[in-house]
Amino acid sequence: MPEGDTVWRAARELNAALAGRTLTRCDIRVPKFATVDFTGETVQNVVARGKHLLIRVGGDDGWTIHSHLKMEGLWHIYAKGAKWRRPAFKARCILETPDAAAVGFELGFLKVLPRSGEEEAVGYLGPDLLGPDWDPEEALRRLSSQPDRPIGLALLDQRNLAGIGNVYRCELCFLAGAHPLTPVAEVKNLPRMVTLAKKLLEANKARSTRATTGNLRGDTLWVYGREHRGCLRCGTRVTLEQLGDNELELRDLYYCPYCQPASTLAAE
């Protein structure tokens, strides 16, 4: 599932393949931008902003190909002429250089905007857990700005801190001993949760196996996806519910009712 670490890794790989190279093919398969053709232009760089990818083409006054993976999207890098590992009809963007091809499949959305439009597109995001703008104090301030909101929603809101997806949301609540419905104001270890979020994404950003348990060869997650196997710590059956509000769509929520009791505030 794409989260901040996945997007960071995708940006690094795309940047290595495209930055400084001249495009020999540009095929954007989204109706609104189907006529956009950057063939002959040079890719300046590729950066991640939370769970967003920005492919910058041309100079500082050039253009940006802005994509978001959502649930199913991914980018592949292929040697020039190599067979794709996904069906061609799922491709939404194809960028080729003399040496390689970058193909974006099933992208959640894909837009082309002037470089000057980046701030409007992603400026609303909170501090990026894996970005140069990371500011834990600002992230904590934003989380605390809605004290009555459940922590399980506040962590997922990219306006608070950018890069946390559903897996990390569930695992962070578990590691903090916080029931996901606990109001932000009642989570006594909120600064620790922010620190832990940064630590987890940093630890996982350069590896394909995401782990919050420290175990890369066995059980890698404490509660996420374990509704039929039980909490990895105590064995209690993991609860699977859905959580959302007017601002965030319903998403699966996993927690251990024993390790994260609703009647007890998160321990310091």
- Residues 6 or more apart whose CB falls under 8 angstroms from that of 76 comprise 84, 85, 86, 102, 103, 105
Choose among 154, 130, 152, 129: nearest CA to 142.
Answer: 154
Q: With contact defined as beta carbons under 8 Å apart, do 212 and 203 qualify?
A: no
CA distance to 25, 111, 159, 198, 220, per residue, from 68 (Å): 21, 9, 15, 21, 26
Separation between Cα atoms, residue 108 and residue 56, nearest integer Å:
19
Query: Per-residue pLDDT tens for 170-223?
Result: 999 999 999 999 999 999 889 999 999 999 999 999 998 999 999 988 899 999
Angle at 4 between CA 202 and CA 265, to 5 degrees: 75
The pair of structure tokens assigned to 146 is 């809605």
Place of tokens 């931008």: 33
Collapse the DSSP code of 10 into the 3-class scheme (helix H, G, I; strand E, B; otherwise coil) and give the result.
helix
Residues belonging to the chain: 268
Quote the CA–CA distance of 260 and 165 in Å, as a whole number: 19
State the pLDDT at residue 263: 56
Pick one of 3.20.190.10, 3.40.630.30, 2.40.50.90, 3.30.70.80 as the CATH number of 4-122. Answer: 3.20.190.10
The CATH-assigned architecture of domain 136-255 is Orthogonal Bundle (1.10)
For the chain, residues with pLDDT lower than 50 are 264-268
Q: Please state the pTM of the whole predicted model.
A: 0.93
pLDDT at 246: 86
Q: Rounded to an integer, what distance in angstroms lies between the CA atom of residue 205 and that of residue 10?
A: 10
Residues catalogued as catalytic: 2-3, 51, 251
The domain locations on the chain are 4-122, 136-255
End-to-end CA distance of the chain: 30
Question: What pLDDT, on a 0 to 100 scale, did the predictor assign at position 267?
Answer: 40
Residue 268: per-residue pLDDT: 41
Looking at residue 262, its pLDDT comes to 86
